[in-house]
Amino acid sequence: MNDDARVEGDQQSAGAWLEPTAALSRFVPPQTDRSRDPTGRIGTVRYGFRIGGIGLLVRPETLCEVIPQVTTYPLPNTPNWVAGLINLRGNLVPVLDLHLRFGVTVAAEQKRTLLVLDRGESAVGLYADGLPQAVMTQRALAELPPLPAALRDHVQKGYVDEGVVWLEFSHADFFSSLGERLGAGQTARSAALANEG
């Protein structure tokens, strides 16, 4: 028996070879939103960040980038919670300090991290306590805890993970409403200045 016949016989004894497209169509990828954490719990893993005692979850499709050591350029005539702008790969990105917006104090020893959510025109930077972390969202809250007024309309659900409350919020709607408020405030200031002159 020659080598070609042996290879052909091995393929037939092991079953016929599948065409590549047929082989790939049989593949079933693992569920990416269900996972097991190191303690063995099974649930949906989400990522979130903390602003003081407030845990905020990032939507799964949201790009979240940690930005190390970048200069933030302050903007004049804006509320104190608008930290300024950063230059991120040639794009100007507004940076907010939600600690100030929510009235949350920052511990002196707390390391703050600059996060940028989304990209392009939708990108917004914010200061968070520490790095984003994985959160198991298996235990939903029956009702939400008291929330800062600025956040209340933008939270859909809450979860508890290891004794910490995590809020699922619509960051795009939240940042859009802040932008509208800033725009309305600037328009009012401009009108007041025009009336004085």
In the chain, the percentage of residues whose pLDDT exceeds 70 is 73
> 129: part of which helix (H) or strand (E)?
strand 124-136
CA distance 122 to 171: 10
Let me know: does 86 contact 70? Beta carbons within 8 Å: yes
What are the helix (H) ranges across the chain? 3-13, 20-25, 98-102, 149-152, 171-196
Of the chain, the end-to-end C-alpha distance in Å amounts to 103
Identity of the amino acid at 191: A
Query: Is this model's pTM higher than 0.85 or not?
Result: no
**pLDDT, tens digit, 9 for 90 and up, residues 41-67:** 566 788 999 998 889 998 888 889 999
Tokens of 121: 């025109």
What's the pLDDT at 59?
87
Q: Give me the domains of the chain, ranges plus CATH numbers.
A: 31-192 (2.40.50.180)
Higher pLDDT, 166 or 180: 166
Residue 138: pLDDT band with limits 50, 70, 90? confident
Higher pLDDT, 90 or 4: 90
**Any residues with CB less than 8 A from the CB of 116 and at least 6 apart, and which?**
64, 65, 67, 88, 93, 123, 124, 125
Identity of the amino acid at 85: L
Average pLDDT (124-134) is 92
